[in-house]
Structures are given as C-alpha cells and as structure tokens.
Structure 1
C-alpha cells in the first residue's frame, strides 16, 4: 500500500473532532511559520543585525516550535500515521536547540546559524503543514506534493548546518557559565557537564543525519513515484 493511499485510509477513519483538530493545528502552524518567515525577511531587508535577530523572532519561534511537541502526542494517539521514533528525533533536535541553546546563551542566539535555521524551518513547515492540512480534505495539489517531498534535499542540510552552528557558537558561553552543569558534592550525589554533553550531542548528528535523510529519500521515491505513475 502506498503512503498516499494509507494516509487517505487513515484520514477517512478519523472522527469529525479529530479531523477538525488536525485541520486547526496544521492551519495555525502554517500561518505561524508564514508570519515568522515574513518577519525574518523584513528584519534583514531593514538591515537588521544578528545580535538583534533572536529578540525579533523569539516568541513566534518558542510558540510554534514548542507546539510541535504535540506531534509526538498525535503519533502516540494514532491521529497521524508517522512513526513515533522518527517524529521524536525530528521534533527533539529543534526543541532542544530552542529551549536549551537559543533561550539560554547569547552566543547561540547571535550565531549566523540562526537565520539558516529559521529559513530552513519556515519554508519546510509552511509546505509541510499546508500539505498535511489539505491532505485531510483530499485536496492536495501535485505541485505541493512535489515540494513536500523535494525541498528537504536542500533545506534539511541547511537546517542541520544552522543548528550545529548555533550550538558551536554557544560552547564557550556554556563552558564559562557552567550552564546546566552539576559538580560534586551536591545533594543528588551526581555529576553532569553540559559542555561535554553538547559536544557529544553534536557528534551524534553524524550517524542520525544519514538515517533521517535516507528515510525521507525513501518516502520521496514512494510518494513521487506513485504521483508520476498516476499522472501518466
């Protein structure tokens, strides 16, 4: 069974309340990321600096990236057909960056990686959420389907590069301020060094990036292959 067919059967089995909820969620996320992209473009067209960029976009990013945590719940409840592990991996990396790096370090927030992240995230999410929303009512145009399963070829590596740059530029600050670091002795009798954790976390992108990228390539072949076959 193709992904497109399985999604149709999945959406047809949703209750009216479930479908209305997902339509609202995807619609609001599409609008939110469109707004974020617009604000970012206007900011830099007006010669905004990297130092002030995070303050300009902070709350939209926190709200709409934080809302992506609901997608884990969607998968757990069976509202969507996406695999739980893939959803967790995709959502966690961004949420960790926002709440663990951008909100806690000036170096990460002022990094040249942040505009790369926002550009990649915004375009990806505008396409993705509009695709999911229209798919719920079986009205997805082929052009949008093509974009959904093609733009990641450029945007995913771009976003990953931006995330790594943000973390890299936060390292000195994390080390100097000992952020989220616990040294002995303490009441919990444990030790944790966020600086070294962050280095290891960045290195984990090496094995996980090919895994996620190959997953999306497989989805692309499956979906676009079906679309091409049906259009002939």
Structure 2
C-alpha cells in the first residue's frame, strides 16, 4: 500500500528537483541550438568553433575513443551528392556554428535512459533507447567522424527538427514537474508537431548516414567495409524505427489530448501526465 501511494504521489522532492533542473537545462540548451542555427540563416556565425570548444577536453578521453573519432576520408555517393546540391540553396551549412552546443546537449540526453532504468520517469525503455542511441550514433559516430557532413544542408534540417521537438518536450516536463501548470498551447505543440517533425528528423538522420556510405551502383558495393554494411542496415531500419516512435507519440497524444475530434489550440487537455 505504501509503495502504491508513493508511486501515485509522484517522485520524491530530491528526484523531482533533479528532474526539473534536467529538463529546464535541456530545454535551454536546445533553444540555444535553435538560436545558433537561425543566426546562420541571418548571415551571422557563432564566435567559437567546435574544435576550439572540445580541444581542452581531449586529454580526458580514452585513446581508443579518440581513435574511433578520427575524421574519416570523404566518402559519399551520387544520390547524396545530388540531393545536397538541390537543397543547399535553401538550408545553409550550420555545423561550425552549432555543433559545439549540439554535442553536449544531445549527449546529456543519455541520462534519460538511466532515468527509465531507475524508475525516475515512466517512459517505455525501448522507445527511449531507440531515440537516444540513434541520435548519439549520428552525432559522434557519423557527423563528427565524416567531415563532408559538416557542409551538408541535411545536417541543418536534422538538428532543426531535433531542436524544435525537444524545446517543447523538455519545457512541458519541467513545468509539469514544477506543478505550476502547463499552458494549453504548449501541451498541444508538444503532442502535435511530431506529425511533421518526426518524419523530417528521421528522414534527415537516414540521409546524413546514407551520405557516408560509398557509391553502390555498378557493383561498387562489393568493396564496402563492414562499417558500410552496418550503416546501410541502420538506414534500412530507420522507417520501422520511425513507426515505433510515431505509434508511441500517437498513443500519448490520445492519452493527453483525448481521442475523437482532437484538441483545439489553447483548450484544456483532458488528461496530463507529469512525465512519460
């Protein structure tokens, strides 16, 4: 009975305070990523580069990890090169101005897996692992290792989709846990914009990874390395992975906003959760 009452009343004060701080910090970090990205669209640039930011920390990273993160030779394929050429006039390259903020903010999300494992939040473990691990692979295993992705406009669409998803999500959780009330419009944004942002984000993720796979036409796939085949496999499962996340969010939307005709912007939700 006591454990049931404890679960019903939510996390303890120390845990609640920690989660509020975590979500508020994450929301602020992703908002800063949006600011840096939009600054590039306005023709401005960040005053610090990713290399200058991370250089002092390099001595603390194990040698094996440093070797793994050594930039790889430029390798891409005709499809990715053509796609980047077509999109570049509309989306500028933003790596130099955003990565120094994106990397730590996204890496901080790894704590969300621990939050689920230790029962601090009620999010399902599979969807949390899929979302967090796929992004960490993109940030550290792909973008940081392959220099030609730094000039890709698909990198820009990817991080914009991420940031525009995460600012409302973390802000929603922070306000819910603080008990100060969540505006109806924020709840609606949190549980509605995924219809557009998830496909854009997941599609951009797959295309960024695809751009690091060498040309495959004309039998050139025969000389692919094991890593190339692994990346091709990951690209292939991006669609079912997106459906897992999509289905989860549709269930959450029905739970929070209600089913049927949906929820008008600014209306009071039928049910609110403090944390997934």
TM range (shorter): 0.7 to 0.9
2:113 counterpart residue number: 72
Q: Hey, which of these two has a bigger chunk of helix by percent? A: 1
**Separation in 2, partners of 1:74, 1:11:** 18
Structure 1: segments with no counterpart, 5+ residues: 1-8, 174-191
Contact 1:36 1:122 in 2 (8 A): yes
Runs of 4+ in 1 over 4 A off after TM superposition: 47-52, 226-230
Q: Which structure 2 residues correspond to residues 1-232 of structure 1 after superposition, within 5 A?
A: 12-46=9-43, 53-138=94-179, 139-172=181-214, 193-225=226-258, 229=270
* 1:5-63 Cα shifts (integer Å, max 9, x gaps): xxxx8583312111111111111111111111001001121077878521211111110
Asked if 2 retains the 8 angstrom alpha-carbon contact of 1:120 and 1:159, the reply is yes
Determine if contact 1:106/1:170 at 8 Å carries over to the other structure.
Answer: no
State the secondary structure of the residue aligned to 1:220: helix
User: How many residues in Structure 1 have an aligned counterpart in Structure 2?
Assistant: 204
Q: Distance in 1 between matches of 2:105 and 2:44?
A: 25
Within 2, Cα distance between the matches of 1:169 and 1:32? 27
CA distance in 1, matches of 2:25, 2:153: 28
TM-score by length of 2: 0.69
How does the TM-score come out when normalised to structure 1?
Answer: 0.81
> Are the counterparts in 2 of residues 131 and 148 from structure 1 also a CA contact under 8 Å?
yes
CA contact (8 A) 1:53 1:110 kept: yes
RMSD of aligned residue pairs (Cα, Å): 2.2
Distance 2:231 2:93 in 1: 24
* Contact 1:111-1:169 at 8 Å conserved across structures: no
Between 9-18 and 210-219, the greater mean CA deviation after superposition: 9-18
Distance 1:10 1:200, change over 3 A: same
Say which is worse superposed, 138-147 or 9-18, in terms of deviation. Answer: 9-18
